[in-house]
Structure 1
Amino acid sequence: MKPILILFLFALVLPLSAHAASTDKTVKAQIEKCETKYKVDKTKKAECIKKVKKASSKKAESTSVKESKSKTNLQADKAAASSTTTKKALKAVNVNKATATELAASLPGVGDKKAQAIIDYRKKNGKFKSAADLEKVPGLGQKSVAGMKKYLKF
């Protein structure tokens, strides 16, 4: 899958960089035309250059919008791919006996840091007797504990 992403990126980036270089040359050429055409009249020359720059910035904005949409789609694809490979095996776990790794793997909304906070709190304050005790753990609130209640054993 990775070679496909790399090829996709090259197919996307190379034409855009070539387009940017040709756009710069075009803008410079148009500015030179303004300078030659209005050599004597500085006001008209300045207006002409201003119009050229304004037109090129609009084109650059539309290109950057297209680029950001492409990047967003690519990021969404990556996120979707990674979420399918890293889904948790949600299962009931005894919060008084489980390791941090087991807690992180088994409970929804609990990653490595929260799992370690649960372990640290348990070591400091003793065993958990109910889900309400888990709400006292820094980083866990009513909502997160409510979401994991059906996976908790004491």
Structure 2
Amino acid sequence: MFKKVLLTLAFILPFASQAATTDPTKLIKQCETKYKADKQKKMDCIAKVKKSASKSTKKEVEKAKKTSSTKVADVKKDAKKDVKATSSKLDSKKADVKKSSTKTKTAVKKQLKAVNVNTASASDLAASLPGIGETKAKAIVDYRKKHVKFKSAKDLEKVTGLGEKSVSSMKKYLKF
């Protein structure tokens, strides 16, 4: 925001001062050519040009300051609007994320049910047991095919990827 203000001032002020300095030099040259013979008139003409140039330069600088200050105010207003719009978008996205995360949590809790680990398919295990996804469910089925059927929850801890903690969280949903 401040960069915009500085850039605005950097562009306005030099042009205002250049406009004032180019006109007086031309007028001074005109005075010199017009009053070559009369030094007094030439000096009076140059003095008038310098006075009017200093007045016009001051006015132009004041105008430039006014326009730049209004531009600064406009930039500030725009920045505030942008900040408000961005924050409201972020707030709505946060609310959407909260809503979607609560929906998925409740949906998972509703689908949990008791399942026979020795007869269920991998997709049934993944849908019914907490903390079990498709890969862990496949590992359970593969272990069951290679080894003997499961007799207790302790036997499930032998499956790679399952530990004591995960097995204890799903004990109430296990049937043998």
**Sequence identity of aligned pairs in percent?**
50
Q: Retained in 2: the 8 A contact 1:91–1:106?
A: yes
Q: Does 1:110 align with 2:132?
A: yes
Q: 1:100 aligns with which of 117, 122, 129?
A: 122
> Aligned equivalents of 2:111 and 2:92: distance in 1?
32
Q: Which has the larger radius of gyration?
A: 2
- Name the Cα RMSD after superposition: 3.3
Q: Retained in 2: the 8 A contact 1:92–1:150?
A: yes
Aligned residue pair count: 115
> Aligned equivalents of 1:137 and 1:99: distance in 2?
16
With normalisation by structure 1, the TM-score equals: 0.57
Q: Does 1:144 align with 2:166?
A: yes
With normalisation by structure 2, the TM-score equals: 0.51
Amino acid at match of 2:146: K
> Aligned equivalents of 2:113 and 2:104: distance in 1?
21
> Aligned equivalents of 1:88 and 1:112: distance in 2?
18
When residues 91 and 33 of structure 1 are mapped into structure 2, their CA distance, relative to the original with a 3 A threshold, is closer
When residues 32 and 89 of structure 1 are mapped into structure 2, their CA distance, relative to the original with a 3 A threshold, is closer
Q: Retained in 2: the 8 A contact 1:93–1:106?
A: yes
Q: Retained in 2: the 8 A contact 1:88–1:106?
A: no
Greater percentage in helix: 2
When residues 61 and 134 of structure 1 are mapped into structure 2, their CA distance, relative to the original with a 3 A threshold, is farther
> Aligned equivalents of 2:147 and 2:83: distance in 1?
57
1:86 to partner: Cα distance: 4.6
> Aligned equivalents of 1:99 and 1:144: distance in 2?
19
